[in-house]
Structure 1
């Protein structure tokens, strides 16, 4: 949680924080690349990349970047101000 006290008129963005959305997208692609590099790589693909497991390395880096985004959004949440609903004007006839 955040170390700064929250005022009464604010709450955190939570799951709708853009850093969480970016982390989900990057993490999903990272897991897919990890699976492709670990389970579906062939010697021909390894030869094309010069003996480097490119999918495996790229997938690992993407998963790490996604973890950084999630950690960042958890440690420094965005505070969204709560605006009160407009009051209905009472009409007297």
Structure 2
């Protein structure tokens, strides 16, 4: 997929915002999952109607993080090799014409 000048478009790679979001959600998901497995007391579970909220929220965040990562891999952002030029100023007629 080359342009007129022969330059090839590049993938956004690490600068893809989906990967940054996946990383942030994934880190919080790991923290909550660890807290839910090893550091949640029975008293804290009873406050949440017997549900281990940290564990379930952590697992949910890990799933969402994985979905963002897969999305970024399946449909990568392509950065054009050359910036687009706007010729709107040249094609717009002047007010006096």
TM-score of the two chains, using structure 2 as the length reference: 0.77
Aligned to 2:40: 41
Distance across 1 between alignment mates of 2:8 and 2:38: 50
> Structure 2: which 5+ residue stretches go unaligned?
84-97
Determine which structure has greater relative contact order: mean sequence separation of CA pairs < 8 Å that are 6+ residues apart, divided by chain length. 1
Task: Indicate whether 1:58 and 2:24 are aligned.
Answer: no
**Which is greater in Rg?**
2
Paired residues in the alignment total 79
Q: Which residue of 1 aligns with 2:70?
A: 71
Distance 1:41 1:55 in 2: 8
Shift of residue 14, structure 1, vs aligned partner: 0.6
Q: Partners of 2:8 and 2:74 in 1: how far apart?
A: 20
> Normalized against structure 1, the TM-score is what?
0.80
Report the Cα distance in structure 1 between the residues aligned to 2:70 and 2:58, rounded to whole angstroms: 18
